[in-house]
Structure 1
């Protein structure tokens, strides 16, 4: 035989009931506040983080420029433990910044490149070496991942906090029931014949 449960009632925790205790009302508010902060806090933090990452990567795409550089030494052979022979290696390069100043640094180049060969490097507005900026699709993916992780971590705080508060309230309620049973229980042990 299946017990009749009746229709599902929305927001049943907030409805009036003469059997509800003060602790039950308090617990219903804790649940409501925790879920509200979890949902809206997580979504807001995720969207803000995604927007920040995407705008930062868009600024990099706008400011960073490819520059022709010249190898100042032969590219070293890739070491046998580092991987395949087609893997890029670090070599010294020289390039001219937009203001006309000469710069030297290390960049990843083809292992077969010889001294004097032209390679393309990326520089920022000051002429310093940077990595190639992320494409629009890569930026969207990075922004989505960072936004999702930020949203999850921010949403976890009120969720876990609400669970801890509810657990504490439950322990307190159980302690109160134990105290009441300690007072009432012995009265039930008397038998009436």
Structure 2
């Protein structure tokens, strides 16, 4: 709104310089870009991310299988566990040696993390594996994918606003430098005669 007000104010002002009008038009163009183009950029990036992430959800659901595993014995946790989330996960998860049958029918045995507070031999829990029984992370769910897509669209919109405003400020900065340069040349021209009576007459 200030840009529109600035354009209106400078229309017939006798003190108006060309650069003043150019700055006002530049501000107006930046506002129009931010209001009209930035939302489209955010929506396009968000839609593209949503499509890619939902495809990843479908691919992971097709490639990963939830299978039942049986606890053989509990394993002691290392005090140097590199997982940064272990402090909050230890209460609800345990490291165990377990047996499970892969989707292809092969028997598997290994150390896994079980969603059990106090696992005992014979306890059952579920894990995610590939078709050959190798342990995989839980597949991405649709709601999480949508959240990531929304964040991607919002981030792209914020970046676009930053680019538009950064471009506007860069152009104004160059205009101000040029204006100062013209002032310096004008003062250099008038400087030798400044203050003399009848100078330039």
Q: Measure, in 1, the Cα distance between the counterparts of 2:179 and 2:43.
A: 34
Q: Report the CA distance between 1:58 and its aligned residue.
A: 4.3
Work out whether residues 65 and 103 of structure 2, in 8 Å CA contact, stay in contact via their aligned partners in 1.
no
Q: Measure, in 2, the Cα distance between the counterparts of 1:163 and 1:42.
A: 22
> For structure 1, which runs of at least 5 residues remain unmatched after alignment?
1-7
Aligned counterparts, 1:1-193, within 5 A: 9=4, 12=7, 21=18, 25=22, 28=25, 32=29, 36=33, 39=38, 40-74=40-74, 76=76, 82=87, 86-103=91-108, 104-125=110-131, 127-192=133-198
Match of 2:83 in 1: none
TM-score, with normalisation over the residues of structure 2? 0.63
Q: Measure, in 2, the Cα distance between the counterparts of 1:22 and 1:83.
A: 60
Q: Report the CA distance between 1:86 and its aligned residue.
A: 3.8
Could you tell which deviates more after superposition, 20-29 or 145-154?
20-29
Q: Report the CA distance between 1:121 and its aligned residue.
A: 0.6
Q: Report the CA distance between 1:67 and its aligned residue.
A: 0.6
Richer in helix (by share):
2
Q: Report the CA distance between 1:158 and its aligned residue.
A: 4.3
Could you tell which deviates more after superposition, 36-45 or 58-67?
36-45
Work out whether residues 44 and 153 of structure 2, in 8 Å CA contact, stay in contact via their aligned partners in 1.
no
Give the root-mean-square deviation of aligned CA atoms. 4.1
Could you tell which deviates more after superposition, 45-54 or 114-123?
45-54
Structure with greater contact order relative to length (CA < 8 Å, sep ≥ 6): 1
TM-score, with normalisation over the residues of structure 1? 0.65
Post-superposition Cα deviations, 1:142-186, rounded to whole Å, max 9, x if no partner, equal 322233224323543343244223323322222222222332355
> For structure 2, which runs of at least 5 residues remain unmatched after alignment?
80-85
Match of 1:4 in 2: none
Work out whether residues 68 and 119 of structure 1, in 8 Å CA contact, stay in contact via their aligned partners in 2.
yes
SS of match in other structure, 2:69 = strand
Q: Measure, in 1, the Cα distance between the counterparts of 2:194 and 2:155.
A: 56
Work out whether residues 7 and 25 of structure 2, in 8 Å CA contact, stay in contact via their aligned partners in 1.
no
Q: Report the CA distance between 1:46 and its aligned residue.
A: 3.8
Q: Measure, in 2, the Cα distance between the counterparts of 1:94 and 1:88.
A: 17
